[in-house]
Structure 1
Amino acid sequence: MIIELDMSSDTPIYVQLRNQIVKGIGKGEIQPGEKLPTVRQLAADAGVNTMTVNKTYQILKNEGYIRTDRRLGAFVSENINMNAEFRDKLESELELLSAEASITGMNREDFLKLCDEVYSKMKSSPIQIST
């Protein structure tokens, strides 16, 4: 997976890193159980501070996308579950995207078609739902 950061973006670098890693997992570019680069290695590769990568990894761990071991490093979690908190976050983000699409004149069918096209780029794997 190639990490591309926009240093001039208003989106913080740690958020950009987090989002690209999540997309990589979703698209199957990074497999469950796969070892991620060390904090130092990713920082060097991306040209950012190690604290930025450390913050990214901590967020991904808290969200359940990765697991860490002080001796072995960071790995993609084998079981990433949808919980009530994630579902609420997803609904909120979809509500905002839907509002923006509607305000700009996109009709429902085109919005749903676009959602389907984007989702179809993700690898197919069952999501375990836990509450």
Structure 2
Amino acid sequence: MFIELDLQSETPLYEQLINQMIEGIASGALQPGDRLPSVRNLAENLGINLHTVNKSYTLLKQDGFLQVHPKKGVIVHPDTMPGITAEFEAKLFRQLRSLAAEAAVRGMTEEAFVNQCRKLYGDTMIKREGEGQ
């Protein structure tokens, strides 16, 4: 699996795991219907507590990215990904506001900040489109 956690990061491990799984879905590395390792197996492979993996899986399930089946285990949602909700937009606004403020304080121009956002979004879409070829 493509997960790499930074044990020295200030970002909690469960958030790192969530972010990397969502990035995997966005990039096409994780496809709808893909089976994920069990909580125990992923925790062992990453060398982290199984409660950390369980928390990540639970939050991803609540947000509609994963499904849990008694026989299949944990899978990437096979039908639809979650849509844009008011809660998502509020979360996006909070996170971008914080990053924009830091970028401004550090002297980054608005144009440079927007270009970074475009590049990241564009890179994700290129990977997704390239998967279908």
Q: Give the TM-score normalised by structure 1.
A: 0.87
Alpha-carbon separation, structure 1, partners of 2:113 and 2:6: 26
Answer 1 or 2: which has greater helix percent. 2
Alignment deviations for residues 23-82 of structure 1 (CA, whole Å, 9 cap, x no partner): 111111111221111111111111112111111100111111111123321111231211
Counterpart of 1:120 (choices 115, 122, 126) is 122
Alignment deviations for residues 61-112 of structure 1 (CA, whole Å, 9 cap, x no partner): 1111111123321111231211111111111111111111111111111111
Task: Note the 1:46-65 alignment, pairs <5 A.
Answer: 46-65=46-65
Alpha-carbon separation, structure 1, partners of 2:10 and 2:98: 18
Partner of 1:110 in structure 2? 112
Alpha-carbon separation, structure 2, partners of 1:103 and 1:11: 21
Partner of 2:25 in structure 1? 25
Alpha-carbon separation, structure 1, partners of 2:12 and 2:114: 29
107-116 or 8-17, which moves further after superposition?
8-17
Partner of 1:2 in structure 2? 2
Partner of 2:80 in structure 1? 79
- 8 Å Cα contact 1:28/1:123 also seen in 2: no
Alpha-carbon separation, structure 2, partners of 1:17 and 1:83: 22
Aligned-pair identity in percent equals 42
Amino acid at match of 1:54: N
How far off its partner does 1:119 sit?
0.7
Amino acid at match of 1:24: G
52-61 or 115-124, which moves further after superposition?
115-124
Partner of 1:99 in structure 2? 101
Structure 1 runs of 4+ off > 4 angstroms?
Answer: none
Partner of 1:11 in structure 2? 11
Amino acid at match of 2:84: M
SS of 1:75's partner is: strand
Amino acid at match of 2:123: K
Partner of 2:40 in structure 1? 40
Alpha-carbon separation, structure 2, partners of 1:117 and 1:15: 23
Q: Give the TM-score normalised by structure 2.
A: 0.86
Give the unaligned 5+ runs of structure 2: 129-133
Amino acid at match of 1:109: E
